[in-house]
Structure formats: structure tokens, C-alpha cells
Amino acid sequence: MDSAFHSVSVTAPARLHFGFLDLNGDLGRRFGSLGLAISGLQTKVVLTASERMQFSGPDADRARRYVERFQQLLGLHGSYRIDIAQAIPSHAGLGSGTQLALAMARAIRQFHHLPADTRGDAVRLGRGGRSGVGVGLFDRGGLVVDGGRWPGEGVAPIISRMAFPEDWRIIVVLDPSHKGIHGDDERAAFARLPAFDAADSGRICRLVLMQALPALAEADLVSFATAINQMQKILGAHFAPLQGGAPFASPAVQAALAFLEGEGACGGGQSSWGPTGFAFAESPEQAEQLVASAERHGRCQGLDIRICRGLNRGALVDETIAAAVSNS
């Protein structure tokens, strides 16, 4: 007998979170952030029609919670087999939770032929409560700026999106032995932080608007990376009390980035709560030379160092509907 075979896959890229624009918030809006979609690290979910709910792969339990909540909120029925074929490392500062949630929501919407609603789904699934960059990057990739959010409102609006130069590379340094602050600990951490100085917020906003974004438009890596690095230093000093007094969550990542910068990399920093760090190179060849030098000098022990591109596209959606033939 014949039966319909219906499968949807969604592949969402990891992102780097370069930092918040305004933690002071005395203008009403708070947070605002700058982020970049990157290649090489991604979450891929595959949803297939099934007689009963089945989940497999890394982050399967978290996927199950998102699916159950999403079905309840949209009044959807039916069962799926869901395979997490690839997963962004969790609690590493790469946006794993948001990308998984949005990928699951998009796969279910596609399966049921419902229109996309990325921002709405982020709210439904409890994502984007502070930074809106993960939501914006899911749709469009590239480098985005969100404009912060009013207290009690939904996801912050994306106010700028720019393509990242194809030749530039990002050296991404992961520390598998550490996890970044997340969940209830993250909420408690923000509650413990002192008030952020308005002058520092103003400085960060100037660095983004008057240096980082124009430098990106002109493909000036040194100016772009310098702005990101200065932004990171201001924020790193503010968050250091929650990271053992250091601007980085992982001492090994901090040491590796210091070495890479000494060898010629630009603009080192930490993505979100880390422990993942990053630095920039002007070409694939320079990035390869920098990583090779770090390996020769023993600066990679226990670390996972990747060479990534800025990814100028959002999530990929693929759907297969076919007749599956059974001889039973």
C-alpha cells in the first residue's frame, strides 16, 4: 500500500554575541545587542510524520519541551519523529537554545503549512528575553544590531543588518570543559550586577554606530575589530565579578586569545557568557597560520579551535513530500 512520506529539516547557524549596547536603560529601552551568524557550528532538526512522538539526538529532551509547548499554544495535533542531527554546543555562548527553539517551531509550521512567525515563536517559547540578535540572525544571518526592548515587551527589533565580508575569518575558541552561566543562574547574575554607568553605555553605542558598522561597510577589519575589542573590555569589566574576577569565563580561552592577538589576530573577545571566545583574521590563509602557530606552541590543549566564516544567510528549510511504497 502507499502512504505519504512527509519530512522537514531546518538548519540554523550558531551566533556570536559581541555584547550589549545599553545595560543602563535610563532611556526606557534596555540591552540592545550586536551579533553575527557564523558557519561551521549549527543545529539541524529533522521532523518526520510518525505514529507516535519520538525524539533522538543531542538536546532531545529540550526539543521535546519546545515541541510540547508549541503544540499546546497553537492547538496542533499529531505525532512526529524528531531527530537532532546536529546541535550547537549548549551553554557555550553560541545561542544553542534560541536556535533549537526556532528550528523546532519552523519545522512544525512548515509541516502543517503554517506561515512563518519567528518573532512570535521566540516569545511563545521564552526566547529573546534580553538579546534579539539570535532571532534576527535565524531569519537573515549576517551581522545584526537589535534596538533593545521596553520592560515587559517582546523581542527587541532588529534595527540594522549588514553582510559580513566573505574573505574575513573568525577564529572561534571553545572550551568543552566549561559551561556558561544560563537559566536561573543567569537571571540571578543579572540581578546581582551593579547599575551600569550611562557613560559606558554611551561609549559602547558610539563604538558600534560610529566605528564598528562603518568599518564593516568599508571592509576595514582593523577598525571593526578594535571597536569590538573596546566594547568587550567595557563589558568584561562589568561582568568580571560573576566570572571569578576575570573578563573571560575560561582562563584557557583567555590565554589562547592573548596568544593569537600577539601573533596578529584582531579583536579578541568572549561571546555572551562564554566560555567561547573569538578573534578575527583578514583572510583564510592568515587564520590557518594563526591556528597552526597556536597548535605548535601548545596553546590549544583542551580547547576546540575552529575557523569560521560570517554567514550571510539565515536558517535553511528543506521539505520532502513523497509517496512511500510498502509491500506489506
pLDDT of residue 3: 45
Span 58-78, pLDDT tens digits: 999 999 999 999 999 999 988
Q: What is the mean pLDDT of residues 102-112?
A: 97
pLDDT digits (tens, 9 = 90+) for 17-54: 999 999 999 999 999 999 999 999 999 999 999 999 99
How do 316-325 and 2-22 pair as beta strands? Answer: antiparallel
Strand partners, 16: 36
Would strands 80-86 and 54-56 be described as parallel, antiparallel, or unpaired? Answer: parallel
pLDDT band at 55 (very low <50, low <70, confident <90, very high): very high
Q: What phi-psi label fits residue 128: left (phi over 0), alpha (psi between -120 and 50 degrees) or beta?
A: left
Residue 253: half-sphere exposure toward Cβ, Cα within 13 Å: 31
pLDDT number for residue 2: 40
184-234: per-residue pLDDT in tens? Answer: 777 777 778 888 999 999 999 999 999 999 999 999 999 999 999 999 999
Per the listing, cell 529539516 goes with 9
Q: Where are the domains of the chain?
A: 1-163+310-328, 165-308
As a CATH number, domain 165-308 is 3.30.70.890
Mean pLDDT along residues 261-269:
95
Sequential DSSP letters for 235-282:
HHHHHGGGTTTSSSS-HHHHHHHHHHHHTT-EEEEE-TT-S-EEEEES
Question: Can you count the helices (H) and strands (E) in the chain?
Answer: 10, 11
Ordered alpha helix ranges (H), the chain: 60-74, 96-111, 118-124, 133-140, 183-192, 198-207, 213-217, 221-239, 251-262, 284-296
CATH code of the domain made up of 1-163+310-328: 3.30.230.10
Distance of alpha carbon 44 from alpha carbon 56, whole angstroms: 12
98-102 mean pLDDT: 97
| Residue 19: predicted pLDDT | 96
Strand (E) or helix (H) holding 89: none
Residue with cell 534596538: 147
307: phi then psi, degrees, rounded to nearest 5: -105, 115
- Residue 114, CA distances (Å) to 3, 81, 108, 136, 288 in order: 22, 19, 8, 20, 44
Which of 5-9, 53-57, 102-106, 306-310 shows the lowest per-residue confidence on average (mean pLDDT)? 5-9
Total-model pTM: 0.92
Side chain identity, residue 251: P
328 falls in which pLDDT band (50, 70, 90)?
very low
- For the segment 141-170, what is each residue's pLDDT rounded down to a tens digit? 999 999 999 988 889 999 999 999 999 999
158 closest CA partner among 309, 9, 37: 37
Pairing type for strands 54-56 and 277-281 reads unpaired
